[in-house]
Chains A and B, each alone.
Chain A
């Protein structure tokens, strides 16, 4: 007996309306707000079907398999290894392929996690290991709304910089997850774990983009004893321009758009560096950020 055709699903993430027909835990059906964004179809294929990558972006990853994104971001085709569970290979789909599709549709992916506080987006930048995910989830546990993990799709629209919600999926170290308040994390769906990191699906993601109100650059320091908030050590332009999630799409129109958006973001949102001593965990860091947000401008 033939297997039933997989059900087609829709989701909203990174400013895109996604259409897929394969198992996508935590992604399928996500969002569902006003369907006015550009569309990207997602499909599975065998690796050989992706040999022809003319005019497209082809990814050959030794762990996550082979994937192709069309030059306009409207089609993403995936050939993951057969032995990887869906939630695991889709970390690459969500973490790399969809942000590229979002960029090709005209948005700007920034290497930042994001949460919504009082209807505005707060972006958390920083190098890998700085605590973007755990601080973001700590803010969610304290009442913020989860927007995105590790990459935030930004759009300059009518003079405002907006952050589009991601798919509501996050990766967090198992020991960090264990320290989250149980009443908050109990509502998160655990999809699986790999090499000490747990993939979770977080609910309550806003259905629409939020204006960016602040950008915090998290840096962990061994030479300080108390948390400090200051101007970013690299300077604001370099922090924002250098924080792009995609450095390889270099068409002039895209570079101009990145420059425009970064300049506008610098005008409309404070960009601050949060220097965190090694002794302070994400919950305290989140409290400090929430306190800074509450200070009068």
Chain B
């Protein structure tokens, strides 16, 4: 996942805030959103991130993948991440 250049990210206890420096809007991620976000930053693609979290939280990977795809879609919609040409965030 590649953060957009106009974005700043900071951790708060238990949450993450993403600041869009162009619009001045702040976006908050709760604990689960933070876990998704950090897994996506650590891994080269969505599949790897899903695999990591499914193992860590012992959850169904198909459901998790849907949730993470929706999460990525939300970040793209808000202009916070950039999507590679092959569609992988």
Contacts and interface: CB of A to CB of B under 8 A. Distances in A.
A74 B58 CA distance: 58
B35 interface: no
A71 B11 CA distance: 31
Given A263-B12, A266-B12, A241 B21 contact: no
Contact of A235 (B8, B10, B24, B28): B28
Contacts of A260: 10
Question: DSSP majority for the B interface?
Answer: strand
A250 B24 contact: yes
A238 interface: yes
Interface in A140-175: none
Given A250-B24, A256-B8, A259-B8, A241 B13 contact: no
Nearest to A240: B12
B12 A236 contact: yes
Contacts of A263: 10-12, 17
Contacts of A252: 6, 21-22
A262 B50 CA distance: 31
Contacts of B13: 236, 266-267
A237 interface: yes
B26 interface: yes
A263 B12 CA distance: 5
Interface in A241-273: 241, 250, 252, 255-256, 259-260, 262-263, 266-267
Nearest to B6: A252
Nearest to A263: B10
Contact of A259 (B10, B15, B22): B10
Interface in A60-88: none
- Interface size classification for chain B: 10 to 19
A255 B21 contact: yes
Nearest to B15: A237
Given A235-B28, A237-B26, A241-B26, A256 B11 contact: no
Interface in B10-62: 10-13, 15, 17, 19, 21-22, 24, 26, 28
A209 to B, nearest CB: 22
A135 to B, nearest CB: 25
Nearest to A248: B24
Nearest to B22: A252
Nearest to A256: B8
A270 B43 CA distance: 33
Contacts of B24: 250, 255
A236 B6 CA distance: 24
A238 B19 contact: no
Contacts of B10: 259-260, 262-263
Nearest to B11: A263
3 shortest A-B CB distances, which residue pairs?
A: A252-B21, A263-B10, A250-B24
